[in-house]
Structure formats: structure tokens, C-alpha cells
Amino acid sequence: MSSISTGASTPAISFQDVSKTYVGARGSVHALDNVAFDIQPGEFFGLLGPNGAGKTTLISILAGLARASGGAVKVHGHDVVADYAAARRSLGIVPQELVFDPFFSVREALRIQSGYFGVYDNDAWIDELLENLGLSDKANANMRQLSGGMKRRVLVAQALVHRPPVIVLDEPTAGVDVELRQTLWQFVARLNKQGHTVLLTTHYLEEAEALCGRIAMLKQGKVVALDRTSALLAGTASTMMRFKLDAVLPPDLASKARVTGRIVQIKAHDAKEVEAVLARLHAAGCQPEDLEIGRADLENVFLEIMQGESKPLPLKVEAAA
């Protein structure tokens, strides 16, 4: 696509020391603190962070919906404030919230959005979008008549209708069913292969691990990790024990474990530590079921970084006699 070839040296997105302070009646909130990184054309980039980390603020500034208090953001070299129209034309943004105009049919809504960006006679691409997003039979349906999942598909189509080189997805799979998630990821992955840059924020870390080549993690408005996904995973060099347990963990293990319902995860760096944990469980009368030993996943890495552990915590477990 011609719009994507803007030169290899210009980043697709450049965040340059971006800060944002919200000033309100009850004081000010420093939502972003000197965020600085570039996303290169063709990357599939993940922006992760807990609630309130600043992800949506950063994307709102990128989209021109909020003003940075300091720094600059450029999209293919276009400043999002000084050169708003050109920057915005390069972006296809799928918002977190379901916003739509109830008076139009799906096809009308897409034609209007296309015209907004100055792209006319776009029905061939609109048909392709409808087909790829499983919306062909809804083309003439009124937006009011669509289910929440269908409306979300229309939002994706609207974001892509002017063939933007950069696609921004702000938690696109929050609360959507498995079928839409798969449809969406297949389609977005295909667009990425064709050269589109993708910036994704999500709380589904297994999606980020599977899709993103590089990831930035935000914590309280600061970038606390930025690396290739494989390097982030390799950096922990941790092995995780996972098992199911009906009993209560002894406190010394509980303090090191992540417990989700019956599922317990504990870091163990080598066979000796695995043996020590098993011996401790045995001594406490706990019977672990379905024991698995595997590498740490992105969720483990994320939690470690967010908890601010600089080094893996060693397990201090005495083997039972």
C-alpha cells in the first residue's frame, strides 16, 4: 500500500518525553511522566500496564483527543498537534468504549467515516472489511439493531476504512467472545503482515505474548520495561511450578505463591527448589494435583515488574526430614 512507504528511518509513532498532568479540584494527577519510545513501521507493539498506569491517556494524546502537558508525539513524522490532520489520517483507532451513531446502517456509517477522511468510492474496501469481520449480512442493518459484539466489529471496520498505515487498538477484546477475538486477531495479524504498524493495549497478557514483537510496560505513568517480548520472557529465566490444591498453603509458601482459585503457581529456579517445595507441601499434609513445571509466561514477568522485584525471590524452604 502506497500510504505505508514513508521511509524506514521515520518511526511510525514517536513518543518524545510525553508528560501529562490532570489538574482537578482535588489536586493534580501525574498520569504520564516523560514517556519516550519509538515504534517502527511494521511493528506489532504492545502497551501494557495495570489500571490507571496511563495507557489510555497516552493513546488519547496520540489520537489528538487530549493534550500532553509536555513533550511531543509524532505519527510518521507528523506532530499530532501542529500537523493534526496528517497525523490523524495515518491512524486507525479502535476505541475502548462503544461509541456509534444509531441513525445509520452499517454501510452508511462506514461510508460517512471514509468520507470524513476524504476517501470516496470506497465500497470495494468496505465490502472486504465487512467480509473479514463477519459483518456482510449486517451491512444494511441499522446500528441500533446490532449486538454489543457486532457494534465492536463495526468500530474496527470504521477505524480501518481509510486504510491507515498505523492501527491502534485500545483494549479491543475487553468483554468480547472467543469468535470475535479470533476473527479480529486473524485480520489484524494479516494487516500487520502486509506492513501495517499495530499498537495494542490489552489486559489479556496471553494475547500480548502471542501477538506482540515488542512490549512496553507502564507503571504510574512511567515506562518500567521496554524490550522484545522474547527478551522479556528470557530475562526472568524462571521456572514456574503450577498445580491444583484443595488445602491451604503453608504461610511460607503462600507468601511466594500466586493463587487463582485452586491453581497455585510458585517460582522454582531448578530441580532442587522444585523438590524443596514438594517436600514442604508433603510435610504440611498438602496433596498437589496436576503438577506442571514450565517456563514463566508474560503474566509472571508482568507481575514481577509491577511488584518491583529486581531479582527473582529465592525460595527458602527446608526439605522435610
Binding site for ligand ATP (CB under 6 A): 22, 24, 29, 31, 49, 51-57
Q: Judged by CB, which is closer to ligand ATP: 33, or 38?
A: 33
Angle at 93 between CA 31 and CA 96, to 5 degrees: 60
Closest CA to 161 of 120, 105, 201, 100: 120
Q: Report how far residue 78's alpha carbon sits from residue 90's, in angstroms, rounded to the nearest whole number.
A: 9
What's the chain's length in residues? 321
Q: Judged by CB, which is closer to ligand ATP: 13, or 286?
A: 13
Buried-state track 10-37, b at ≥16 Cβ within 10 A, e below 16:
ebbbbbbebbbeeeeeeeeeebbbebeb
Cβ neighbours around 5 below 10 Å, total? 10
Least separation, in Å, of the C-beta of 17 and ligand ATP? 17
Q: Report how far residue 89's alpha carbon sits from residue 111's, in angstroms, rounded to the nearest whole number.
A: 16
Q: Judged by CB, which is closer to ligand ATP: 51, or 255?
A: 51
Quick one: the chain helix, strand, coil %, rounded to 5?
35, 30, 35
Q: Judged by CB, which is closer to ligand ATP: 31, or 191?
A: 31
Q: Judged by CB, which is closer to ligand ATP: 159, or 240?
A: 159
Least separation, in Å, of the C-beta of 31 and ligand ATP? 3
Least separation, in Å, of the C-beta of 170 and ligand ATP? 8
Least separation, in Å, of the C-beta of 48 and ligand ATP? 9
Least separation, in Å, of the C-beta of 55 and ligand ATP? 4
Angle at 10 between CA 225 and CA 208, to 5 degrees: 35
Q: Judged by CB, which is closer to ligand ATP: 25, or 321?
A: 25
Are residues 87 and 63 in contact, defined by beta-carbon separation less than 8 angstroms?
no
β partners of residue 46: 200, 215
Q: Report how far residue 44's alpha carbon sits from residue 201's, in angstroms, rounded to the nearest whole number.
A: 11
Least separation, in Å, of the C-beta of 208 and ligand ATP? 13
Q: Judged by CB, which is closer to ligand ATP: 99, or 124?
A: 99
Least separation, in Å, of the C-beta of 122 and ligand ATP? 32
